[in-house]
């Protein structure tokens, strides 16, 4: 699946990296604890989170995360979007809750990371 498919499934909008819709995604993880993400996540994953701070992007950068999804319509500040653009990490925003967003992706064949 690709990032643009995720946009469609989650009724999401791009906040960063609109040109990276062709990025491939193989799995997903949903977490507000970056420590857990750093300990358990594998490659080419989508990271869904309700946490909006700079370290979310830093964590994604270290892990080569394919795409960040902010749930519940959360709008990150400009410095977060800037950092994601700098490192070529797409950011999506969806109105769904973390639980629902993960459920939709799982129901559409995306496994856990």
Partner 1 sequence: MEELRVNEYNLKDIYTIEAGNFVTAGEASSNIKTLLKRLGVNSSKLRNIAIASYEAEINLVIHSKGGQMELLVSPNEVIIKIDDIGPGIENIELAMKEGYSTAPDSIRVMGFGAGMGLSNMRNNADDFKIESKLGEGTHICMKFNI
Measured between alpha carbons, how far is 98 from 43 in angstroms, rounded to an integer? Answer: 20
Of the pair 7, 28, the CB lying nearest partner 1 is at: 28
Paired residues of 27 in beta bridges? 45, 111
Q: Which residue, 3 or 37, has its beta carbon nearer to partner 1?
A: 37
Distance of CA 73 to the CA centre of its chain: 13
According to CB under 8 A, which residues from 32 to 91 bind partner 1? 32-36, 38-39, 43, 49, 51, 53-56, 58-59, 61-64, 79, 87
Q: Choose between 55 and 111: whose C-beta lies nearer to partner 1.
A: 55
97 counts as binding partner 1 under rule CB under 8 A = no
> Min. distance of Cβ 65 from partner 1 in angstroms?
11
Cβ atoms of residues 55 and 29 within 8 Å? no
Which structure tokens are listed for 55?
């370290």
Total Cβ atoms within 10 A of residue 77: 10
Binding positions for partner 1, rule: CB under 8 A: 32-36, 38-39, 43, 49, 51, 53-56, 58-59, 61-64, 79, 87
């Amino acid at each position: 699946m690709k990032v643009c498919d995720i946009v469609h499934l989650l009724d999401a909008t791009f906040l960063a990296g609109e040109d990276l819709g062709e990025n491939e995604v193989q799995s997903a993880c949903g977490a507000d604890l970056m420590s857990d993400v750093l300990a358990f996540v594998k490659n080419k994953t989508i990271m869904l989170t309700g946490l909006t701070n700079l370290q979310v992007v830093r964590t994604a950068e270290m892990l080569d995360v394919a795409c960040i999804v902010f749930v519940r319509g959360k709008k990150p500040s400009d410095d977060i979007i800037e950092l994601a653009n700098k490192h070529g990490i797409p950011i999506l925003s969806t109105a769904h809750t973390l639980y629902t967003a993960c459920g939709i992706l799982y129901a559409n064949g995306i496994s856990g990371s």
